Amino acid sequence: MEDQEPKPKRRVRYKGTHPKTFKEKYKELNPEQYSDDVEKVLQQGRTPAGMHRSICVDEILGILKITPGQIGLDATLGYGGHSQEMIKCLIPGGKLYAIDVDPIEMPRTKDRLTALGYDEDVLEIRQMNFSEIDVLSEECGPFNFILADLGVSSMQIDNPDRGFSFKVEGPLDLRLNPYQGKSAAQLLKNISQEELELVLFENADEPFYELIARAIKSNLSKGNKIITTTDLKELIKETLKYLPENIRNEEIKKSCQRCFQALRIEVNNEFEALDNFLYKLPEALAPGGRVAILSFHSGEDRRVKKSFKGLFQSGVYSEIAPDPVRASPQECHSNPRAKSAKLRWAIKSMN
């Protein structure tokens, strides 16, 4: 009897009328096959699972003023939405370099952009942290324009295996590169209460930093584990249950957001990386080169503002943004994640 090819396995059916978990959203996770379904999600003002909607695209292109033949850098590739639009402006004759620290999402983005026809003649992608911009600029620069989008990508937040969101169950990881360094769960286990208080306050302005830090370390000292996103969320919820009922749920939600943000920043050394990037940035730009930086919380924006202002006063930059550029009301309505974005820019002096 001849060998018969095995029948393909049918997709496991999700419960109910609509998929709820990340892995069940098979249509959103395959936008090429289900473009109509993905478009419906976008029209509802939501970001499809596994995708990321680039923010302030028109504003960024207006600031960078990219022309054919230029050499540029996307210092935070992510889903590649900004890169895709910048490439359209620099061809023919130009080239975009793009870097990202995430070894999981970067290959997917590279495959997606290659499928669109952007080969290494116009786009070269490397896995590296933008704090190493000097290494890249010495080899490939100086650059006519540079973009850095400091936000975490939607596909990272939505994937429960990455542990970036308190809204879904997953390992308390929070690393942009899960193959390097220690997870957030490991950090909580090894950090002192005083150090944890500092992390929660300085990285996210958490008003209940003392209570939450004390509760975390107290639970761990009793042998309780905090290894999942739900573990941490429930502990914060329990710690703040004393709050008045009319504000309790909203305050707990905000504290969860801030605590996860603070731990993510600490786990990935994000502020240190940003400071290094800002310090090395002028040398990576060609004379007259333009830079745009998109930030999403006050700690990042303060650093960008201070760096730009200081270098403008010393003559390194000839012009800087007088105020941050914000996403339009229309964009904020269609993509709520744009509401907190602040866009700042600078132009390097010609001398």
pLDDT digits (tens, 9 = 90+) for 117-144: 998 999 999 999 999 999 999 999 799 9
Of 126, 53, 73, the C-alpha closest to 292 is: 73
The predicted structure's pLDDT at residue 23: 47
Q: How confident is the model at residue 266 (pLDDT cuts 50, 70, 90)?
A: very high
The predicted structure's pLDDT at residue 26: 42
Report residue 18 as tokens: 């609509």
The residues, any chain, with a CB within 8 Å of residue 257's CB and separated by 6 or more, are 166
pTM for the full model? 0.82
The predicted structure's pLDDT at residue 163: 82
Give the count of beta carbons closer than 10 Å to the beta carbon of residue 130: 25
Render pLDDT for 310-326 as a digit per residue (tens, 0 to 9): 999 999 999 999 999 99
DSSP string computed for 17-45 = SS--STTT-TTTT-TTT-HHHHHHHHHTT
Q: Give the start-to-end residue ranges of the domains of the chain.
A: 57-154+273-348, 178-267
Q: How far is CA 15 from the centre of its chain?
A: 31
Per DSSP, the three-state class of 253 is: helix
Distance between the two ends of the chain, CA-based, in angstroms?
80
**Domain made up of 57-154+273-348: CATH architecture:** 3-Layer(aba) Sandwich (3.40)
Ranges assigned E (strand) in 52-107: 71-74, 95-100
Q: Which residue has the higher pLDDT, 30 or 53?
A: 53
Superfamily of domain 178-267: Putative methyltransferase TM0872, insert domain (1.10.150.170)
Of 289, 310, 56, 295, the C-alpha closest to 152 is: 295
**SS3 labels along 293-337:** EEECCHHHHHHHHHHHHHHHHCCCEEEECCCCECCCHHHHHHCHH
Taking the C-alpha atoms of residue 298 and residue 342, their distance in angstroms, rounded to an integer, is 9
CB 85 within 8 A of CB 56: no
The residues, any chain, with a CB within 8 Å of residue 284's CB and separated by 6 or more, are 73, 133, 134, 136, 137, 141, 142, 143, 146
